Amino acid sequence: MLIRIDIPEDLWRQLRTLIASQGVTLESFAVQAIENELARGGSPVMRRRRFPRVTSKEPGSLHLTNAEIEDLLT
């Protein structure tokens, strides 16, 4: 089966270097990566994450100190 994917240039350079260092083909590398991912149980269940909601009197801008951000996250 032939499958075509577009990979960003910088990612492609890193991938080529990795494949060359392992002395494998792109095909065998991709198959192994897919097998490894499937062995881990496939895709994880996506859960909606709730982030702290911070409102501003001036929409589009919000000025918080690091301490204020830390308080919101705890």
Instruction: Give per-residue pLDDT as tens, 26-67.
Output: 999 999 998 888 888 755 666 666 766 767 677 777 778 888
Domain count, the chain: 1
**By residue range, what is the domain housing residue 30?**
9-39
Nearest to 15 by CA among 30, 37, 35: 30
pLDDT at 27: 92
Query: Over 80: is that where the pLDDT of 71 sits?
Result: yes
Q: Are 62 and 54 in contact (CB under 8 A)?
A: yes
- Residue 22 resides in a domain: yes
- Residue 26 resides in a domain: yes
- Residue 60 resides in a domain: no
- Residue 68 resides in a domain: no
- Residue 58 resides in a domain: no
pLDDT at 1: 82
pLDDT at 42: 56
pLDDT at 46: 62
